[in-house]
Amino acid sequence: MKINVGFSVLMGFLIGIITSYFFGRKTILRKYIQLLEKANFQAKKIIKNAEKEGESIKKKKMLQAKEKFIELKSIHEKDINLRERKIIDTENKTREKENRLSKEIEIYFKRNNRLEIQIHDYENKYKILKKKQEEFRNLHVKKIELLEKISNYSSEEAKNELIEILKNEAKTKAQSYIQSIIEESHLTAKMEAKKIVIQAIQRIGTEQAMENAVSVFNIESDDVKGRIIGREGRNIRALEKATGVEIIVDDTPEAILLSCFNPIRREVARLSLHKLIIDGRIHPARIEEIVEKTEKQIEEEIIEIGKKNIIDLGIHGIHPELIRMVGRMKYRSSYGQNLLQHSREVAHLSGILASELGLNAKLAKRAGFLHDIGKVPESESELPHAVLGMQWAEKYGENIEVCNAIGSHHDEIEMKVLISPIVQISDSISGARPGARRNSFESYSKRLKNLEDIALSFNGVNKAFAIQAGRELRVLVESDKIDDKKAFQLSCEITEKIKNEMTYPGQIKVTVIRETRAVQIAR
């Protein structure tokens, strides 16, 4: 009984479990079905929303695509229009060129036709001319044959006889013409010679020449003048003949003038007179003896002076003849400036400038010292002193650079070496410094004033200043009246007027200065 009860309980429990399982499954299935339905509903809703959004996006993209298409289409149409215009323009240009070429071709053919016609005419004319020439030759031959028959002369004989006749006539006419020229030249020769001499005197005779050509010999008393003159002037004549110096004995108290363009001769005459007066024996024989001794003494002194100056400057290897010329510089002056002292200054300046520029200072000093040796010739020469000095330097074996510097220091020849402008600059510095060269103050100031007056005579010139001892003229012009082109033209005109109206040594540099100023004041 107990077993049956337990069994029945167990069975009941199992049945309960089974029933509860089935009931629970139904509820689960029901819930699952409900969830599926909800999910389907939501999925359908999402799909609908997605379809709506897709449609809206599609519409937007379609609109954007249409807008882009329209934009690209307009750009494309513009490009096409531009290309069409270019094509039309090129077509028009080609048409114009075709028309022009067709016209030119027509003109060319017309000209060719004209030329052909002209050539044809010329050919016809040339043929006619040839025929005429042939006819003329035939007539000429016939005339010659007829003349030969009449005169019994061949053409060659007649030609030779005619030539002889013409020669004789020409000779007689030439002789008469030459005779008339000779007679006329005899009549006018003296007059022309006087004119030439007067012109030479006018060009050369200056106040400075008198100052440089006269030396004053001082004496203790005027009684010595009679002894120097001698009986009937024999002593003074002998002295002038021996020295080549004109001795002027006038009323000037305690002074005798020695006049000669050669300074060495003047020095010989001065020393000879000094020795004769000390000696007391003044007669022609003694004069000749003293002058001869003095000339030898001066010659030795010249060589010693040359050697001393060359040693002082540290220059070596100079030819003895050039040393003698250097010594002669002591007795030569240029514008009142002693030539030897001037050459020493130029040598020092050239050496300093060359060393500052890193050039050969010894070579520059040598060229500067020898640059004016052409001013002391023993005989007169027509060559400029720079060219003459260069020729002497070449003759006595000087360096090519030194020769070029000597020859080009006044721009007579082209400068080919660097020391040439250095020597030229040093020469200008030595000659242009205040007090170096003697000029009378009146003539100097007058020349400067004339320079300034010439510049001020032109329109537009505001101020003019003569500087560098009259070697440069600076002209200030008004900028509103004179432009840059007129400034250059004005400098040329002033230079030309100075050349025509003034006499001056060396060269004058004309500088025209034009400036524009803008001034404002801040207050």
Find, among 407, 307, 306, 422, the residue nearest to 362 by Cα.
Answer: 422
**pLDDT on residue 57:** 87
CATH topology classification for 441-513: GMP Synthetase; Chain A, domain 3 (3.30.300)
446 or 490, which is more confident?
A: 490
Phi, psi of 462 (to 5 degrees): -90, -50
- Where would I find the beta strands (DSSP E) of 123-262? 214-218, 246-248, 255-259
**pLDDT on residue 214:** 61
Q: What is the mean pLDDT of the chain?
A: 77
Give tens-digit pLDDT for 225-245: 777 777 777 777 877 777 777
**pLDDT on residue 22:** 64
For range 362-379, the mean pLDDT: 85
Number of H helices, E strands in the chain: 15, 8
Give tens-digit pLDDT for 11-28: 777 776 777 666 666 677
Give tens-digit pLDDT for 426-448: 887 776 554 445 544 556 677 88
The answer to whether 346 touches 315, Cβ cutoff 8 Å, is: no
Q: Give 333's DSSP letter.
A: E
Count of Cβ atoms closer than 10 Å to residue 230 Cβ: 17
For range 320-348, the mean pLDDT: 81
Q: Which token pair is 279?
A: 């000696």
**pLDDT on residue 445:** 73
Secondary structure of 84-96 as H, E, C letters: HHHHHHHHHHHHH
Phi-psi region of 41 (alpha: psi -120 to 50; beta: other; left: phi over 0): alpha
- For the entire predicted model, the pTM comes to 0.43
Using pLDDT thresholds of 50, 70 and 90, give the confidence band for residue 153. Answer: low
Using pLDDT thresholds of 50, 70 and 90, give the confidence band for residue 79. Answer: confident
The answer to whether 331 touches 362, Cβ cutoff 8 Å, is: no
DSSP string, 370-400: HTTGGG--SS--SS-HHHHHHHHHHHTT--H
Q: What angle do CA 431, 436, 440 make, to 5 degrees?
A: 110
Question: For the chain, first and last CA: distance in Å?
Answer: 140
Q: Which of 1-5, 50-54, 72-76, 217-221 has the lowest mean pLDDT?
A: 1-5
Q: In this model, does residue 463 exceed pLDDT 80?
A: yes
Q: In this model, does residue 147 exceed pLDDT 80?
A: no
Q: Which token pair is 168?
A: 């004789």
Q: Report d(CA 508, CA 447) in Å as an integer.
A: 12
Q: In this model, does residue 376 exceed pLDDT 50?
A: yes
Q: Report d(CA 283, CA 258) in Å as an integer.
A: 19
Q: 243 to each of 174, 212, 239, 489, how far by Cα in Å?
A: 51, 18, 6, 55
Domain at 318-432, CATH class: mainly alpha
- 180-194, 439-453, 459-473: which is most confident: 459-473
Within 8 A by CB and 6+ apart from 432, the residues are 468, 469, 471
- 85-94, 104-113, 171-180, 250-259: which is most confident: 85-94
**pLDDT on residue 208:** 36
**pLDDT on residue 206:** 35
172 or 196, which is more confident?
A: 172
| Residue-range domain boundaries for the chain | 1-107, 209-299, 318-432, 441-513
The label of the residue with tokens 């220059």 reads: 315
**pLDDT on residue 90:** 86
The label of the residue with tokens 């002076």 reads: 305
For range 50-69, the mean pLDDT: 83
**pLDDT on residue 437:** 53
Count of Cβ atoms closer than 10 Å to residue 340 Cβ: 21
172 or 472, which is more confident?
A: 472
Phi, psi of 218 (to 5 degrees): -85, 140
CATH assignment of 209-299, given 1.10.10.1100, 3.30.1370.10, 3.40.50.800, 3.40.50.620? 3.30.1370.10
Count of Cβ atoms closer than 10 Å to residue 48 Cβ: 10
- 142-151, 213-222, 274-283, 299-308: which is most confident: 299-308
368 or 15, which is more confident?
A: 368
Is residue 303 within a helix (H) or strand (E), and if so which, with residue range? helix 284-313
Q: Which amino acid is at 459?
A: N
The label of the residue with tokens 């006419």 reads: 173
**pLDDT on residue 172:** 67
If you compute the radius of gyration of the chain from its CA atoms, what whole number of angstroms results?
A: 59
**pLDDT on residue 196:** 45
